[in-house]
Structure 1
């Protein structure tokens, strides 16, 4: 009997086993009489116990009960030998794979040097490449994130970002102002911001972009259909230009507060988005102009304008701008 074929020891088998410990010389009829069982039930129970190694034939006739420990050793010895052999095989395989690590890093470095722009197609391959870049990143990750992120995108990004931050990698994320008034965008900004990332927003962004260690940039092949694939840019000249684009957009960005409720007017000093709205109000921009420039809805602009005017006690947009300037909020 193998370990996969071990049967449960029922009450009858247990009773027969304990009686065999005390009466090894009894025949089946005698043991059946002691147990109040039929001889056939005793015979079936003894066959089960023999298969488990708990009974062994006695040279003098009858059965000898074997200790559970000895029976277990006899039954499990082949299994333990197989497990030991598998562990040895696994250790050898792991050592063989680990011996390839140096060659892999060297080959990857050669690929980076030889291929200045690499095209990766398909969502699955794209995710694998991004996972690899994140895993080998050591210094920084910089992201341009136009539009409003989806729940799926955030669920995929947050674990990677938190793992990078835990390794001391610096993260800068630039989102659009519209993300400030969106639940998913705020959740992402607050989650990674609380873990040490820098998060800002800007009115418009040129394209989705990821830059790893300032050595490789990831750009979508089709900005409108991110699942089609990406281009990996390692060419020094092109990469330098993309880093300058990011820095220019970042310098124009406004910090997103880590605290909950970012983007809403409160009783204290206005946050970054509110300052932008006040500044544009002060120079006479309409709600439509403000919405277009900041990349948020006209409804959001109207709500912010009303809250800011109430907060400043202003009866006109000009008066609100003047009072904000006196408070030093437009600097």
Structure 2
């Protein structure tokens, strides 16, 4: 039997291990509270249960205090629910147009509208490809809305098709049920939540200028009709690449521009200094690329493809 006052060398000799290994084991056991200094010198062995109680008691006390603090904070926040609901009711006044400034305030309002949206979100998203930061922020919010049954409709510009992160974002949300289209031009960024609140930029050229939250029935009705106007004239986001390949350049583009104004082949040939046969051949090629049955339809499809922007 090992005596508590025996030295490390003596214990090592009894155990048949090097003194360094015995010293290391002694240090580890002391660190776990399984060995305590003896008043008479050496160590006293402590049961694992007693060591655990002594070692973990401070941690358990700290956890208890943190839980008490969390409960107190939660109670204080819940006490503000009445004020929050009252503020939301004031914000939802039907004749209200509220201006929000400051990027943090704008983000907070958009986050609140997104998380409380219950039926639909319609968005005009001009400017071509979206920033990767905006996409990273939008993906989880859009997927969460779709999961709870919110109808998402978004219109991008055709140029967004050439931006890989935007195209990947569209593929992800359409797979989850969103409907996405594209148009050659869009007037401004617009978001319409549940058809009762629209978010419009104060200055479309300066996103940091602030936004307006619009619930006024007259203004909101106009904004909703504006969205439907562009929605009806846009094409499915995935269709743009299938239509006709790259935009025409050079003489093809010159002919297309004159076609779009209603000019006949002879007039086009005269204005461009070409033969009637050359113009007819280019017109035929353009009609075939656009899969158009008439010159008017070709002009419409050329606009949809972004060829005439």
Give the alignment's TM-score, normalised by structure 1: 0.65
Residues 136 and 56 of structure 1: CA distance in aligned 2, closer, same or farther (over 3 Å): same
Residues 227 and 159 of structure 1: CA distance in aligned 2, closer, same or farther (over 3 Å): farther
Residue 166 of structure 1, aligned match among 128, 143, 147: 147
Shift of 1:197: 1.0
Deviates more, 1:159-168 or 1:204-213: 159-168
Cα distance in 1, alignment partners of residues 185 and 94 from structure 2 = 34
Residue 184 of structure 2, aligned match among 195, 200, 203: 203
**1:249 aligned partner:** 230
Cα distance in 1, alignment partners of residues 236 and 69 from structure 2 = 54
**2:12 aligned partner:** 35
Larger relative contact order (CA 8 Å, sep ≥ 6): 2
Give the alignment's TM-score, normalised by structure 2: 0.70
Residue 55 of structure 2, aligned match among 67, 75, 88: 75
**1:65 aligned partner:** 45
Shift of 1:44: 12
Cα distance in 2, alignment partners of residues 193 and 44 from structure 1 = 61
Residues 316 and 111 of structure 1: CA distance in aligned 2, closer, same or farther (over 3 Å): closer
The count of residues paired between Structure 1 and Structure 2 equals 265
Structure 1: which 5+ runs fail to align? Answer: 1-21, 266-270, 278-283, 293-313
Residues 64 and 248 of structure 1: CA distance in aligned 2, closer, same or farther (over 3 Å): same
Cα distance in 1, alignment partners of residues 214 and 282 from structure 2 = 50
Verify: 1:149 aligned to 2:126, yes or no: no
RMSD: 4.0
Cα distance in 2, alignment partners of residues 118 and 105 from structure 1 = 17
Residues 315 and 69 of structure 1: CA distance in aligned 2, closer, same or farther (over 3 Å): farther
**2:240 aligned partner:** 263
Correspondence list, 1:169-318, <5 A: 169-257=150-238, 262-265=239-242, 271=243, 274=244, 286-288=255-257, 315-318=281-284
Shift of 1:102: 4.8
Structure 2: which 5+ runs fail to align? Answer: 248-252, 262-279, 302-309
Cα distance in 1, alignment partners of residues 191 and 94 from structure 2 = 21
